[in-house]
């Protein structure tokens, strides 16, 4: 059983979407929490928001940073930064640091890796790179759990759509392509269940999907229109525009490296044709409740935005 009083949990990419949804659960269970981020801005805001945690800055591409932030850690929630040109190296380096900590008679006991749905999809570079991390982790000798979230509902800029007079969602691919969606609300709760009862989930791989049946962005925007009482259109933007605008945003507004653009552009092409489809059975079982439907998510988010929580 985890020793929630004494175990030290490390949460990586703590300022990101997934970890932000996990932290409120962990604050209620673990006493010793270390939050990792990369930038000064995130370090400052995490320290203000979670004063009873230890906030550390690290570049997960840097092996000595990984070793440093793993000191005395018992359990770790590993998320890797999006579209990193060397994502497989980041994952393998981090796993090596966990192994080294454990072999040096350290405290390390369990790694929960947030991967992605279908990491076997070779045409999606940001999925394919995670396949090798999963393989390395499975063969590492570490106690582990792998979670595989699908496309996140939170990618929709709901607050902006609510603000705009004539809202149009600029879709980076064909808005008629179907997706299975997950919300970070379900991801955070599921991850907490694993981290708080980790022995039960050793060597498991769970696909994380919230929506019971796939839907496309035209349908998603129709749901948003109904909830906010204003028509929201989904329109596909040009490929070049999608690549230049979206990848730059993911890179914090800075011009992205060529390799990062390639990862994003291939994803847009793939999504344009095939979308991303999975099944919500496993997530429902893990949560012990119905997974969150798209309309339910929109209603919850709209309330959060209106009450200034978002």
Ligand X SMILES: NC(=O)c1ccc[n+]([C@@H]2O[C@H](COP(=O)([O-])OP(=O)(O)OC[C@H]3O[C@@H](n4cnc5c(N)ncnc54)[C@H](OP(=O)(O)O)[C@@H]3O)[C@@H](O)[C@H]2O)c1
d(CA 100, CA 60): 16
Q: How far is the CB of 130 from ligand X (least distance, A)?
A: 7
Among 9, 10, 17, 214, binds ligand X (CB under 6 A): 17
Q: How far is the CB of 153 from ligand X (least distance, A)?
A: 8
Of 75, 69, 71, nearest to 90 by C-alpha is 69
Pattern 139-178, binding to ligand X, x per CB under 6 A?
A: ----------x-xx--x-----------------------
**Residues 262-281 contacting ligand X, CB under 6 A:** none
CB atoms within 10 A of CB 25: 17
Residue 16 interacting with ligand X (CB under 6 A): yes
d(CA 59, CA 118): 26
Residue 310 interacting with ligand X (CB under 6 A): no
**Closest CB to ligand X among residues 32, 148:** 148
CB atoms within 10 A of CB 101: 19
The interface region with ligand X, picked from 9-17, 227-235, 260-268, 287-295 by CB under 6 A, is 9-17
Q: How far is the CB of 286 from ligand X (least distance, A)?
A: 16
Handedness of CA 82, 88, 90, 94 (dihedral sign): positive
**Residues 33-92 contacting ligand X, CB under 6 A:** 37-39, 42, 58-61, 79-82
d(CA 30, CA 54): 13
**What's phi and psi for 106, nearest 5 deg?**
-80, -175
Copy the structure tokens of residue 140. Answer: 């590492």
d(CA 35, CA 53): 7
Which residues lie near ligand X (CB under 6 A)? 13, 15-19, 37-39, 42, 58-61, 79-82, 116, 126, 149, 151-152, 155
């Amino acid at each position: 059983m985890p020793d929630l009083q004494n175990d030290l949990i490390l949460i990586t990419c703590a300022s990101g979407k997934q970890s932000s949804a996990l932290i409120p659960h962990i604050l209620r269970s673990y006493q010793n929490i270390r939050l990792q981020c990369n930038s000064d801005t995130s370090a400052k805001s995490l320290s203000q928001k979670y004063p009873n945690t230890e906030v550390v800055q690290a570049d997960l591409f840097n092996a000595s940073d990984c070793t440093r932030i793993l000191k005395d850690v018992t359990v770790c929630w590993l998320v890797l930064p999006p579209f990193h040109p060397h994502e497989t190296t980041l994952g393998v380096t981090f796993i090596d640091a966990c192994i080294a900590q454990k072999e040096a008679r350290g405290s390390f006991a369990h790694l929960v890796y947030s991967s992605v749905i279908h990491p076997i999809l070779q045409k999606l570079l940001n999925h394919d790179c995670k396949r090798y991390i999963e393989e390395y982790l499975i063969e590492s000798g570490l106690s582990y759990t792998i979670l595989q979230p699908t496309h996140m509902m939170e990618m929709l800029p709901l607050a902006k759509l609510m603000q705009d007079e004539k809202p149009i969602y600029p879709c980076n691919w064909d808005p008629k392509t179907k997706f299975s969606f997950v919300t970070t609300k379900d991801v955070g709760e599921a991850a907490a269940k694993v981290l708080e009862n980790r022995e039960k989930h050793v060597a498991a791989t769970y696909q994380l999907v919230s929506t019971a049946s796939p839907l496309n962005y035209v349908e998603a925007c129709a749901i948003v229109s109904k909830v906010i009482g204003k028509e929201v259109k989904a329109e596909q933007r040009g490929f070049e525009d999608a690549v230049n605008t979206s990848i730059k945003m993911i890179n914090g507004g800075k011009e992205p490296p060529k390799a990062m653009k390639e990862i994003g552009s291939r994803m847009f092409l793939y999504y344009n044709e095939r979308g991303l489809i999975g099944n919500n059975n496993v997530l429902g079982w893990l949560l012990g409740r119905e997974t969150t439907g798209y309309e339910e998510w929109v209603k919850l988010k709209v309330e959060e935005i209106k009450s200034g929580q978002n």
